[in-house]
Amino acid sequence: MEAVKEKAVLVGIRKRGEDDKTFAYRLEELKGLTEAAGGEVVGVLTQAREKPSPSIYIGKGKLEELKHLTAEKEADLVIFDQELSPVQIRNLKEALEGIKIVDRTLLILDIFSQRARSREGILQVELARLNYKLPRLTGKGKEMSRLGGGIGTRGAGEQKLELDKRHIRRRIGEIERQLEKVRKTRELHRKKRQRSGLKEIALVGYTNAGKSTLFNLLCRVLHERKSEEVEADDRLFQTLDTTTRRIKLKGGREVLITDTVGFIQDLPHHLVAAFRSTLEETVYADILLHVVDISDPEYLSKIETVEKVLKDLGADNQEILTVYNKVDLLEGIPHENPNGIYISARTGKGLEVLLEKIAGMLD
């Protein structure tokens, strides 16, 4: 039986100087995130403001409009396009009594909570959630007990939010110690791989660019089992847990290939911090394949987002090959680009050219 989807109203502020196209793209991405979390968008409210109101995010008149819209649409929650402060959350909850308030950060954390599978991934998401929640708790978590279930309330460690801040800090310390052990184990494995002389290729890119589809294609063609290794579909953040496999290139040369979590505009700093040890796999890779959805009208801005995250991680000095994916969705294939390769991970088009390029970069 299919679960009933929560009804969500989206709220976005158009900043000064932001053009219509960029603003529409941001709202469309927020809608995609809402759907990825299992929600249904039933309404959108926007406002042009120089900056958000420090107390209620939007203006008082817009807040009244939001009250009417949530009542008319029988909404379960309101999702805001930026991270809200504790004061904004408290005031909005009082104004929209009975309606859940979720900001962009909490929405992404919710998706990560649903998708994490490995022990490390679950711990990383819990750490990010607790660091996000800690400054937003009042008393002993009374406001959390009223939230019920659904978007924004899922994930390992949620029951810990009923405890006071001291207990939450203790849990954060426990998770950090466990993740440090995992990090050291990862480092030992990395050094072992380096001693073996195996080169490593890491796939990076914006979420839903097709990294996992390309990873599966390479495994089907070059892995000894000839099978797909990770789940891939059109949902945002389908891949959270880093997966590494050994593949054999033409001529018998063996290399390691790693699929990584996708990036996104304004990726919550709590998540970047929690997933740093995982993301740092990109720093140690010999080659980064930056997978880009060439069919996306906003692909250039997404390239910039990925490049910024790589720079923040210290991986911007790696040897990077841009892989323009999803050419099967274009009417015509673009002219050859000296700075990248055009492929379709879904159909396999361009794979031979990509493999030749990789082999040349490894020599």
Residue 327 known to bind ligand: yes
Residue 262 known to bind ligand: yes
Residue 212 known to bind ligand: yes
d(CA 334, CA 342): 8
CA neighbours within 13 Å on the CB side: how many for 264? 27
Bridge partner residues of 342 (DSSP)? 324
**Secondary structure class of 25 (helix, strand, coil):** helix
Residue 208 known to bind ligand: yes
Residue 211 known to bind ligand: yes
Bridge partner residues of 246 (DSSP)? 256
CA neighbours within 13 Å on the CB side: how many for 56? 16
Residue 155 known to bind ligand: no
Residue 209 known to bind ligand: yes
Mention every residue, 6+ apart, whose C-beta is less than 8 A from residue 207. 236, 237, 261, 262, 263, 264
Residue 241 known to bind ligand: yes
Residue 237 known to bind ligand: yes
Token output for 211: 């990294």
Residue 238 known to bind ligand: yes
d(CA 271, CA 131): 9
Q: In Å, how far are 107, 193, 226, 345, 359 from 247, measured between CA atoms? A: 36, 14, 10, 17, 12
d(CA 129, CA 102): 13
| Strand pairing class (77-80; 39-48) | unpaired
Residue 85 known to bind ligand: no
Residue 259 known to bind ligand: yes
Residue 325 known to bind ligand: yes
d(CA 26, CA 80): 11
Specify whether the CB–CB gap between 240 and 121 falls below 8 A: yes
Residue 61 known to bind ligand: no
Q: What is the phi-psi region of residue 208: left when phi exceeds 0, alpha when psi lies from -120 to 50, beta otherwise?
A: left
Residue 206 known to bind ligand: yes
Residue 349 known to bind ligand: no
Residue 240 known to bind ligand: yes
Residue 286 known to bind ligand: no
Residue 328 known to bind ligand: yes
* Residue numbers belonging to the annotated binding site for Mg(2+): 212, 239
* Residue numbers belonging to the annotated binding site for GTP: 205-212, 237-241, 259-262, 325-328, 344-346
* Residue numbers belonging to the annotated binding site: 205-212, 237-241, 259-262, 325-328, 344-346
